[in-house]
Structure 1
Amino acid sequence: MGLLHGSKGSLSCLAMILMLVFGSTKGDINKDKEMCENQLMGLAGCLPYVSGEAKVPTKECCSELKIVLNKSTVCLCIMIKDYNPSLGFKFNDTLAMRLPDSCNMHASLSECPNLLHLQPGSGEAKIFEDHTKKQHHSFTSEETK
């Protein structure tokens, strides 16, 4: 049985993420991280999807994501940016960035570098910039078919 099966395992993993994410903060992002702490706990049901263990997010995951996105997209940006691989479970940032689309919701993750006060072109901003380029390329390719 994987680490992410069952609600206790999911909550434990998410609690570890939150401790690492919120334990070492700097600058303006402190307030954002504090605001998002409880909201991100609600996304524990999304861990099987963002780990690649589930092909689609659960209804619970999408319901919680809707709550998070209604309050602030920055929380999803923080979750994606601050994942730490040393936590010992899989986290596919590409799947995490597809989560809103997979739940039939709109979230402009291209805004994440600005929301997180990241330097354009920096390593931290790269994941969001690459995702935006892939989405634009995919959209453009579909238009030309």
Structure 2
Amino acid sequence: MALRALARRIQQRWREDDGDASLQMLICFPAALLLILMVVDTCNVYFAKQAATTAAREAVSGARAYGSGTEDGIARADAVFRRVGGTLRGPRVSTAGSNAERVVFTVTAKAPSLIGLNISIIERATGPVERWTSP
């Protein structure tokens, strides 16, 4: 008996709804969708920063070895770009600041975005060049 009374109350409530639930969904759904897309964009930015950092570190690792040059570092950074695919948009590698004793690589790119944000990623890595010295 109590179950029938509960079912009647629910039906009566639905009849009195007059579209309130539809209006609530109309307001809440876009906000929830935007929140989800912002979380996905945050993850994309984090992953893009990690990929740019990896490319810069790989470039330094390739360029600082004995007998290597900045071209070897750029080649290793390009290999990272190919490996990570579309994680970075328009990646560029700069060797500005490098000299005979120290290599500096700066990776600049844009993070992909679902919302249309234009987020630039700039990561830098540096290290000493290996060389022979007399004891």
Query: TM-score range, shorter-chain basis?
Result: under 0.3
- Indicate the structure with greater strand content: 2
- Indicate the structure with greater helix content: 1
* Length-normalised TM-score, structure 1: 0.23
Greater radius of gyration (CA): 2
Higher relative contact order (CA 8 A, sep 6+): 2
* Length-normalised TM-score, structure 2: 0.24
